[in-house]
Chains A and B, each alone.
Chain A
Amino acid sequence: MAFEDIPVDIGAVYEGQRIRKGDYRVELGGKKAPGAELVRARGADEVEDGRVEVIGPDIGDMEEGGTYPYGVYIEMAGEDLDRDLESVVERRHHEFTNYIDGAMHLNQRDAIWIRIDDEAFEKGMNSLEIVGRALIELFKLEMDYIENMQVTFYTDEAEAENLVERAREIYEERDARARDLHEEDVDNFYGCNLCQSFAPDHVCAITPDRISLCGSITWFDARAAARVDPDGPYFPIPKGENVDEEHGEWTGVNEAVEERSGGVHDRIWLHTVFDNIHTSCGCFEALAFYMPEVDGVGIVDRDYSGDTPYGVSFSTLAGQAGGGKQVDGILGIAVEYLRSPKFLEADGGMERVVWMPEHIKERISDAIPGELVDKIVTEETTIDVAELREELESRGHPVSERWFEVTDELVERAVDYIRSTGGKVKPAEAAEELGIDRDQFMELVKELKKRKILA
């Protein structure tokens, strides 16, 4: 076996293990000491395969129960490797460290926090070299595009600080690159059909501007995964032609979705909550929902348990959206999608957003244009749609300019029409008759009630 000379067991079964206070030999990184994980792609001659180096005290030299800095610098080489794969590989560091029985890895990037438990230490896990060897083995097994890999651990305070600083720069660089990469810049989008396991008609279209709606898979992730496992759940979607720029309709996406949904869906608009909207499976993090009363879009996520101005909770709304259906007006999204420059582009983007829970607003505040921040209402102000409307009006939210006004002339026509029907009014027919849409008709009914024409 590849892990023969490692004194503890290695495997996915250990992923869930927790090492509690009092059970650990040493603690690395975390809140009390600097720590970071960084993966870099290098030239073949720059990486010595299998090399593990520890700069600073090793586990055996550390004081029992102590906390030490932890910088993990992983260099890899391989013909098919490129910069964009770095973050994908890096993300697995968490999982693979956890595969080691007696090691616990929490958080990511410069917040990593590791514990090595007493038992593992007693079994002989007294050196980070062992951790390094296990990691190299695991990475190479899982990702066959990695040909060479070497790992350097920094437990020396200054050296670790150094790595943390360098890592932060690189994270920022990467994030910037990801931010700057858009649908126009790439040839392929990616699809994910993992959720078909539960929602057989659903296909996720993932683009540089649209993260999967569970929030777990970015375009980079999907690309990397599709590359290593060509017959796996992630597949490239040659994007084809952009037949409808406004809505984000691509011929490639349509074809892929048609094929993979067994013909149930054949037309997808990527950036809208209306009509041919992207399907939603069941594990979307949040929903964007259209509220006709204010002609705006609300956002609600799973962590918000109260009612929305739509009159119902996340659960109820979600119940209407899921299952791989295209439901006009309710769209499953990842919270991260709110940061996308193409976020609901067809509908007016962030300018169309009128309401969201406070915690989301805080989380994405940097992605909301300054002049809009105070215009978007949260549950702290109201969850009542009528109040919301007043609030939007007084805050001068851009949607208020779109509002439909009930004129006296319209009221007259409406009353005539209602009379002519003898009282049996079907909203769709009435709207058509009056030359307005159904939502507007609803506005009208409301106005009629206000004016006491209707009881």
Chain B
Amino acid sequence: MESRNVRLDRLEKGGLQVEGLELTVGDIEREELWDEPAGPYHLPGIKDLRRWDHLLLGRYDSSYEPTRDVCDLCTFGPCDLTDGKKSACGLDISGQTARMNLLTTVMGAAAHLSHAREIVEHVIEKFGPDVEIDMGSKNDVEAPMVRVIAGTIPETVGDLLPVVEYCEEEMNHLTSATSTMQEGSPLEFDSKSLHAGMMDNLALEIADIAQISAFDMPRGDEDAPLAEIGMGTMDPEKPVVLAIGHNVAPGTSIIDYMVENGLEEEVEVGAVCCNAHDMTRINPHVNVVGALSKQVKYIRTGAPDVVVIDEQCIRADVLEECRKVGARLVACSGQAVHELQDVSDRDPGDIVEMMVDGEDGVFLPEIEKVGEVAIETARSVYEDRLGRKAIPEVDELQGIIDSCTECGRCDRACPEFLPITDAMVDGMEENGGDWSGLEELWDRCVGCTRCDEVCPVMDPMSVQETASEHRWKTERNVVRTGRGPINDTEIRNVGAPIVLGEIPGVVAFVGCDNYPDGGRSVAEVIRDLAERNYIVLTSGCSAMTAGDHTFEDGQTVYEMFDGRFDKGCVSNVGSCVANAHIVDAALKIANLFANVPLRDNFEEVSDYVLHRIGAVGVCWGVYHQKALAIANGAKRWGIPVVQGPHGVKFRRQELGRPDLDERWVVNDANRDYEEVQIEPAPEHLGYSAESIEEMAVMAVKLCMRPNDTRQGRMIKLTNYIDLYRKYFDEYPSDLARFVRHEKEVPLTEREEVMEVLEDRGWEPRETPNPTMLREEDRLI
């Protein structure tokens, strides 16, 4: 009768008077109405979830890949850790590597957490603490992670502050643990890395629900509008303001000023990186220049009159790059000040004047003033700027290319080993002056400028840029704007098709664009998976990459596929912080389908996710520490992550051991928690693939879960086999491990496969109700 009880309370909120007597019927806070039982982990500290981490890391080995043989973090050192030697403080290479992974995770998580605090504070400052948290009518569970970790239902943005404080406290403990002579065990460092990852994910959720609520961003928009993306979206003949970074606050100020003064036609406003996502979530007319790799490339075209930076993913030499083209820099966050003069107390008009008079940048943490300053400065200076750029003119290019000494330094410096020298050589007049190689590099180049640093005669990156000028000048594709949360209703809609085997899994393409070989192949894998009926999600720079490539009919994946959370759809959740919605979708499934209580119940929720929800994160172009933090969080929640080859530089993968049966034993909740053997699913928790093909095969393989229904397993295996064949040109040798029942073998090859399996002594297996927990650890 709980529901009716709740009903009464809701209706009768407020005290009742009976002739002076106060009645206590009703007047119950929302939180007290939350009849969900609470689990044991309220605001868990480092020590509280160790058991879960140890369970996870007992199944998945930490595979350490040290990037340094020495530790030089304290003055005992540097200490040589090779050949099993310990450091002066007693740590061995595993401990040190695990510690560095923790430190890296902490860096990433801190960036997100600081961002979360800034957004929350900004919202409170601007609108007061009572801005209601509202994820739209299709979302009842507004903040799944906050519910799980902080055991509370936040009603207002102000309610998020204590959760931010909790994260900050934990982050401080975690940072402390990286200092010398604290933790000594690699396993415990790993557990702490997962804890830091969880803090990161929580910070993402806080930041995104705060900004969605305050700035009226799409709330689970299943048909979010398309925004233009590309270096050709803005008209460089107009005043141009470019925002760089991750914190949308200055962006809102720019949009507000533009809209309030009716300048949409006169001024071009665009952004790179996550800021672009968040600004288009507020106003889809903002231009998305592109992912991180476009930052310097775009500045060098000379188009921006004013560059506004806030925090994260801002190049350290942004001021220098701005100076090259005379663009004025406005820094808005204490995170990245660049020695600029603080002008907070000046009038916007004065600041504009300063910059028109030649000041090349200002520090302006007074967010409200940013819009006026940026736009008015751009309007005042743009005419002088026209024609200025930091890349060669087309007519000088041949001479520059011909000056290449073929020394090969650029190739060696390039993080992607792009064949720059070959392209230069082909481009030389004496060899026919074919610039197509340079043009092709343009697509694959991640914009790091490392070649520029080493080349004795030119800036090879700028040479590529001029060589492909005719392309990027008109480059205009589309990206779906960030939709925000996955709706409860969408999650319910996919329940039946998942169990009936129509949807093989959920694959989320997240993170940066440090692609080993350009982004085109990422868009191709997305298309392939959507055509195979996977639910495909995108976020951050990956979401932009997905929209930045077109296929045969000139369409991007966002035009080819709908933006719902459904089979064969591709939807962009939004910026980096919107990644929270991907994890949140998994938590909602647990809550909506099995009524797993979220409240303070981390272990049980994650156990559910790990064993049941066929979701995988792919971070093909991983570069930033934030990507590691997000990934480590996802892993702790039970969602495996596949990274690109650069991922090994984070020094640790979490690899399963399919060869060891004893690792794959769970308790069967339907059979008195008796131990049962399962297949290695998901096989790994953190994995780096060397090639995009391997990534695709691994991603679909990691969608398998021990709870898969037969139909579900069948469709998963069908795709696994098919992709394996497509890319490796052979049959997967581990198929027998994943077949529990004859009906799980794809229909068209059942006979042949079963013959082979039976020859190898294959036996059918039951599908358990799997958990790594004991009965007494669970609420349900």
Contacts and interface: CB of A to CB of B under 8 A. Distances in A.
Check if A and B associate: yes
Interface of A: 1-3, 10-13, 15-18, 20, 22, 99, 138, 141-142, 194-201, 214-216, 229, 231-233, 262, 281-284, 292, 302-303, 305-307, 310-316, 318-320, 322-325, 327-330, 415, 418-419, 422-425, 427, 438-439, 442, 445-446, 449, 453-455
A303 B222 CA distance: 12
B12 A445 contact: yes
B7 A316 contact: no
B140 to A, nearest CB: 4
B531 A422 contact: no
Contact of A3 (B10, B23, B748): B748
Give the most central of A231, A303, A310, A454: most B CB within 10 Å: A454
Given A15-B533, A445-B12, A138 B747 contact: yes
A438 B595 contact: no
Contacts of B567: 16
Contact of A425 (B4, B25, B139, B593): B25
Given A318-B592, A323-B596, A281 B493 contact: no
Contact of B492 (A231, A283, A307): A283
B18 A419 contact: yes
B23 A423 contact: yes
Given A12-B715, A320-B3, A425 B24 contact: yes
Contacts of B138: 305, 313, 315
Given A305-B489, A454-B16, A13 B594 contact: no
Contacts of B11: 311, 442, 446
Nearest to A423: B21
Contacts of A16: 530-533, 567-568
Q: Which 8 A-B pairs have the closest CB atoms?
A: A323-B595, A283-B495, A282-B593, A455-B17, A16-B533, A198-B593, A214-B496, A423-B21
Interface in B454-511: 487-489, 491-493, 495-496, 498-500, 502
Given A197-B712, A319-B488, 9 more contacts: A141-B750, A194-B499, A283-B499, A292-B7, A306-B137, A415-B18, A424-B24, A438-B8, A445-B12
Interface in B723-751: 741, 743, 746-751
Contacts of B750: 141
Nearest to A198: B593
A438 to B, nearest CB: 6
Contact of B595 (A2, A11, A325, A419): A325
Give the most central of A16, A199, A415, A453: most B CB within 10 Å: A16
Contact of B23 (A138, A322, A418): A418
A138 B748 contact: yes
Contacts of B746: 11-12
Nearest to B708: A197
B495 A453 contact: no
A328 B496 contact: no
A282 B492 contact: yes
B6 to A, nearest CB: 8
Given A315-B137, A319-B488, A10 B748 contact: yes
B593 A418 contact: no
A319 B4 contact: no
A449 B533 contact: no
B65 interface: no
Contacts of B25: 425, 427, 445
Contacts of A232: 710, 743
Nearest to A12: B718
A199 B593 contact: yes
Contacts, number: 217
B592 A322 contact: yes
A398 B157 CA distance: 46
Given A3-B748, A198-B589, A305 B594 contact: no
12 contacts: A13-B719, A18-B531, A22-B553, A195-B593, A198-B707, A233-B709, A307-B137, A315-B137, A315-B487, A325-B595, A419-B18, A424-B23
Contacts of B448: none
B764 to A, nearest CB: 9
B557 to A, nearest CB: 13
A325 B595 CA distance: 8
B5 interface: yes
Contacts of A20: 553
Contacts of B533: 15-16
A282 B531 CA distance: 26
Question: Interface of chain B, helix or strand or loop or mixed?
Answer: helix
A10 B2 CA distance: 52
Interface residues of B, number: 77
A408 to B, nearest CB: 17
B474 to A, nearest CB: 24
Contacts of B568: 16, 18
A103 to B, nearest CB: 14
B268 to A, nearest CB: 34
B669 interface: yes
Give the most central of B488, B532, B708, B749: most A CB within 10 Å: B488
A446 B8 CA distance: 10
A214 B3 CA distance: 23
Given A233-B710, A442-B11, A198 B594 contact: yes
Contacts of A425: 23-25
B748 A195 contact: no
B670 interface: yes
A316 B140 contact: yes
B751 A2 contact: yes
A214 to B, nearest CB: 4
Contacts of A195: 495, 499, 593
Nearest to B722: A13
Contact of A281 (B19, B495, B532): B495
Nearest to B18: A418
B349 to A, nearest CB: 46
A282 B141 CA distance: 15
Contact of B137 (A17, A216, A313): A313
Interface string B312-335: 000000000000000000000000
Given A282-B593, A438-B1, A422 B21 contact: yes
A302 B499 contact: no
A200 B669 contact: yes
A198 B1 contact: no
Given A141-B750, A423-B24, A455 B15 contact: yes
A167 B500 CA distance: 28
B523 interface: no
Interface in B590-609: 591-596
Contacts of B709: 194, 197, 233
Contacts of A282: 491-492, 495, 589, 592-594
Nearest to A446: B11
Contacts of B502: 15
Give the most central of A142, A196, A197, A323: most B CB within 10 Å: A197
Contacts of B7: 292, 310-311, 442
A319 B500 CA distance: 22
Interface string B249-267: 0000000000000000000
B344 interface: no
Nearest to B15: A455
Contact of A200 (B1, B137, B594): B594
Give the most central of B18, B531, B596, B708: most A CB within 10 Å: B18
A315 B489 contact: yes
B772 to A, nearest CB: 15
Interface in B764-780: 767, 769, 780
A142 B747 contact: yes
Contact of A324 (B19, B594, B718): B594
Contacts of B553: 20, 22
Contacts of B345: none
Contacts of A18: 531, 568
A17 B718 contact: no
Interface string B5-49: 101101110011111011111000000000000000000000000
B137 A284 contact: no
